[in-house]
A and B are shown apart, each in its own frame.
Chain A
Amino acid sequence: MAVAGASMEPALRDGDWLLLVPARSARPGQLVVVRDPADRARLLVKRVLRASPDGVEVESDARHRDHLAPRGTIRSADVVGRPVFRYAPLRRAGPVR
């Protein structure tokens, strides 16, 4: 999947290509791809702030740029997976965390 936007800098940059492991949960501190609760057709990549059996709460790394990060718990059903590897650009290829 491709990253669009700068809210996860410096970990992820606009235009990064990532491999994703399908998952329904993630631990605090891990990157996660979730469905946007405001528009479920849209995927967001964020970092897990808190995790519970019901789902996850997420935040952006570049927090000041992200006044509209989804608030509240995102249900496990809307957790899509965890980015694990960046395969492009090649010079920054490698595991992501």
Chain B
Amino acid sequence: MHHITRLIAPRVTAHAHCDIPCGIYDPTAAKTAADTVAKMVEKIATFQASDDTNRNNYIRSVHVKEEHAQLCKKELLILWTDYFKPEHLEKYPNLHDTFWKAAKLCSKNKQSVDAKAAADLVAAVKEISDIFSATKK
């Protein structure tokens, strides 16, 4: 049996690694997404005339806002679940709560056009980004 296994065992390896598991995390993507949401909310509020070009841009802004709110959530969840470790939690006991609220703000911004919610999201992501930077020191 051993011989057979050896006979059919692959000779080469194809790597599907988390290419070097990988230690490359960066809150910039979440920040950019949150800033984009805020910018879109700002733009949406200024649309007035209802000609086709305006309507098209309006719809696009809504679309981009929702897309980036979703992206922001995705990037936050990667940091939350993959980067942060129990030892970080010891130092930042509110970490889970902070992430949870930030993720909820992403949903809120996806659902609504709300300048306050957008500003809150930007602030929440900044807070997470600051914690991230502090853990890197």
Which residues on A are within 8 Å of B, measured CB to CB?
1-8, 12, 14, 17-18, 33, 36, 42-46, 60, 62, 64-69, 83, 87-88
Query: Residues of A contacting B11 with CB < 8 Å?
Result: 1
Beyond A1-B14, A17-B10, A43-B12, whether A64 also contacts B19 by CB under 8 A is no
Partner of A4, one of B8, B15, B74: B15
User: Chain B 7-47 against A: per-residue CB contact (8 Å), 1 yes, 0 no?
Assistant: 01111111111111110100000000000000000000000
Give Cα A66–Cα B23 distance, bound, in whole angstroms.
10
Q: Let me know if A4 and B14 touch, CB within 8 A.
A: yes
Q: Let me know if B20 and A44 touch, CB within 8 A.
A: no
Q: Let me know if A18 and B14 touch, CB within 8 A.
A: yes
Min CB gap B15→A, angstroms: 5
Give Cα A62–Cα B19 distance, bound, in whole angstroms.
11
19 further A-B contacts with Cβ under 8 Å, apart from A2-B13, A45-B14, are A1-B10, A1-B11, A1-B12, A3-B14, A5-B19, A6-B17, A6-B18, A7-B18, A8-B16, A18-B10, A18-B14, A42-B15, A43-B15, A46-B16, A60-B16, A64-B74, A65-B21, A66-B18, A68-B20
